[in-house]
A and B are shown apart, each in its own frame.
Chain A
Amino acid sequence: MVEIMEMMPLMLEGMKTTLWVFFLTALFSIPLGMVACTLRLSRNRALQTLMQAYILVVRGTPLLLQLIFIYFGLPLVGVRLDREVAVVIAFVVNYAAYYTEIFRGGVLSISLGQYEAAKVLGLSKFQTFFGIVLPQVVKRVLPPVGNELITLVKDTSLVYVLGLGDVLRAAKTLSNKQASLVPLFVAGLLYLLLIAAVTFFLKKTENRYDYYR
């Protein structure tokens, strides 16, 4: 127990990194996913192709490689980013691609009949989308969005490759120092706690949108 208390300052220091990577990514990737989804569903073929290419590249390469390319590769073409900025850009661009597809799935899941019914009732396109389609999409995409958020918590550990100290790196350092597995176990518990909190928040949100049951 004393051992565990001793390791907490460094662990919490690492937790800070894990948390800001998580929150900033969640904050920016979801809106970016919405924008990208709108472009992906637009009638413009060029935009569609562009978005498909973006999704293919981002989903088709490991996030770890994307981090390395953005931080070490971009300076070759004159773009120098700080470690933190590179991390946020890589994570946001990566996660937005997955959100794009989740949102697209949500929009496509609304049956055509509803659009026809809205038209018959004389609703404008704007009213149809924001009044009829979007509220249903939000409800339907919540579970897959939650999945991504939980994956994101664990993916934050990839920041070690740019030298940022997250919980897992702190645990590895302590594990080396004490020559024991206990710090890694504690790191596991911290992740579990964090994800339990995210899960709780997701459940609350789902309940809030469950007004027709």
Chain B
Amino acid sequence: MKKKFVFTIALVLGAMVLAGCGKKETASDTWADLEARGTVIVGLDDTFVPMGFKDENGQMTGFDVELAVEALGRMGLEPVFQPIDWNLKETELSSKNIDLIWNGYTITEERREKVNFTTPYLDNQQSIVVLAGSDIMDKAALEGRAVATQNSSSALAAIEAEGAMEAFKDGNVVLFDTYNDAFMDLEAGRVDAVVADEILARYYIATRGEAQYRVLEEDFGDEEYGVGVRKGDETLLEKLNEALDAMKADGSAAAISEKWFGENIVK
């Protein structure tokens, strides 16, 4: 009797799991739904200064946030900013909890398999930051040293792509949840270098004091930021590209860039 009971439960649970796995992600275009709703849910890591973050009053602000408000406004849609855990961004997108990933989101081949990207709107490079007094002058000097970066970041992907981590201390990269933690570890002297998005590193160094840090001439490669759109949302992707192109053309993107970075770095 009891065995039968347990068996039935196991069967039902198993069937549920299989049904879940078996269901193909239907690559449908949700544009009609978005238009009817009038809003687009923009997923972002709200700790990512200066791209998208909450200010002291709890208001969502930042370069990407202003860009999104403007671009989506031109499409007649209102953005709703939804903070997410950066490690789960693609999961949030594919399960339709969010409609866009827009937060200094680097275009990589690996990510292209899971999401569609708009045309790039910003150049970035993976800078190597060390303390001002450090003896590390180039990439080769990182051999045997402790190197830190953010988990699930494009910096990590760039390091992996170059196969550079073999040479680092313990053959691994020290991973933190936020870049801030990585920089604090650098200051504490437990890691010797931090590999970070140039955009973010620039902000951090400016806030903490220019004299404390040095950015190496060499880096872990150039890359581009794009907006992540769900596979299948072709209409949204197309309209967003049009809006971004128009903003680059009429100078409104440049104005937002100048406000946040002091110069126009939008491409």
Residues of chain A whose beta carbon lies under 8 Å from any beta carbon of chain B: 6-10, 13, 45-46, 49, 68, 72-73, 75-77, 83, 160-165, 169-170, 172-179, 181
Per-position binary interface string of chain B over residues 189-217, scored 1 when its CB falls under 8 Å from any chain A CB and 0 otherwise: 00000000000000010011000000000
Bound complex: CA A161 to CA B91 (Å): 12
Give the interface segment out of B105-113, B165-173, B179-187.
Answer: B179-187
Size of the B side of the interface (Cβ < 8 Å), in residues, is 38
Residues of B participating in the A interface, judged by any CB pair closer than 8 Å = 1-2, 5-6, 16-17, 19-21, 23, 43, 46-49, 53-58, 82-85, 88, 91-92, 95, 97, 178-180, 183-184, 204, 207-208
Contact in complex: A179, B180 (CB < 8 Å): yes
> Contacting B54 at CB < 8 Å: which of A73, A165, A181?
A165
Residue on B with the closest CB to A172?
B47
Nearest-CB residue, chain A, relative to B85: A161
Given contacts A77-B20, A176-B47, contact A161 B207 (CB under 8 A): no
**Minimum CB–CB distance for B65 against chain A, Å:** 13
Q: Give the distance in Å from the alpha carbon of A49 to the alpha carbon of B10 in the complex.
A: 14
Can you offer 10 A-B residue contacts whose CB atoms are under 8 A? Answer: A13-B54, A13-B58, A46-B2, A163-B82, A170-B58, A172-B47, A176-B53, A176-B179, A176-B180, A177-B49
A68 in contact with B88 given A75-B95, A176-B47 (CB within 8 Å):
yes
Q: A169-B47, A176-B178, A178-B207 are in contact. Are A160 and B95 (CB under 8 A)?
A: no
| Most-contacted residue by chain B among A10, A165, A177 (CB, 10 A) | A177
Closest approach, in angstroms, between the C-beta of B95 and any C-beta of chain A?
5
A-side interface mostly: helix
- Residues of chain B within 8 A (CB-CB) of A45 are 2
Q: A72-B91, A77-B20, A161-B85 are in contact. Are A175 and B2 (CB under 8 A)?
A: no
Given contacts A77-B19, A160-B85, contact A9 B5 (CB under 8 A): no
Contact of B56 among A7, A160, A165, A181 (CB under 8 A): A7
B204 / chain A contacts, CB cutoff of 8 Å: 179
Contacts of B84 in A (CB 8 A): 163
> Which residues from A are CB-within-8-Å of B97?
83
- Contact present for B82 and A173 (CB under 8 Å): no
Residues of B within 8 A of A163 (CB): 43, 82-85, 92
From the candidates A9, A13, A49, A177, name the one contacting B53 in the complex (CB within 8 A).
Answer: A177
A120 vs B5: C-alpha distance when bound (angstroms): 40
Whether B57 contacts A10 by the Cβ 8 Å rule is yes
Contact call A165/B83, Cβ cutoff below 8 A: yes
Give the residues in chain B near A72, CB-CB below 8 Å.
Answer: 88, 91-92, 95
B183 close to A179 (CB less than 8 A): yes
Q: Select from chain A the residue with minimum beta-carbon distance to B204.
A: A179
CA distance A181 to B181 in the complex (A): 10
A176 near B49 (CB under 8 angstroms)? yes
Closest chain B residue to A13, Cβ basis: B58
Specify the chain A residue showing the minimal Cβ separation from B47: A173
**Using Cβ atoms and an 8 Å threshold, which residues of chain A touch B47?**
169, 172-173, 176
Asked if B54 contacts A170 (CB within 8 A), the reply is yes
Q: Which of A13, A68, A172, A179 contacts B207 (CB 8 A)?
A: A179
Give the 9 A-B residue pairs with the shortest CB-CB distance, closest first. A76-B20, A163-B84, A179-B207, A13-B58, A176-B180, A163-B83, A173-B47, A9-B57, A179-B208
Q: Which B residues are in CB contact (< 8 Å) with A176?
A: 47-49, 53, 178-180
Q: Complex Cα distance A116/B2, Å?
A: 32
Q: Which residues of A contact B5 (CB under 8 A)?
A: 46
B91 / chain A contacts, CB cutoff of 8 Å:
72
Known: A9-B56, A72-B88, A173-B54. A49 touches B6 (CB 8 A): yes
Q: Find out whether the CB atom of B82 lies under 8 angstroms from the CB atom of A76.
A: no
Interface contact B88-A161, CB-CB below 8 Å: yes
User: Chain A residues with Cβ under 8 A from B208's Cβ?
Assistant: 179
Q: Which of B2, B46, B88 contacts A165 (CB 8 A)?
A: B46
Q: How far is the CA of A163 from the CA of B41 in the complex (A)?
A: 13
Residues of A within 8 A of B179 (CB): 176
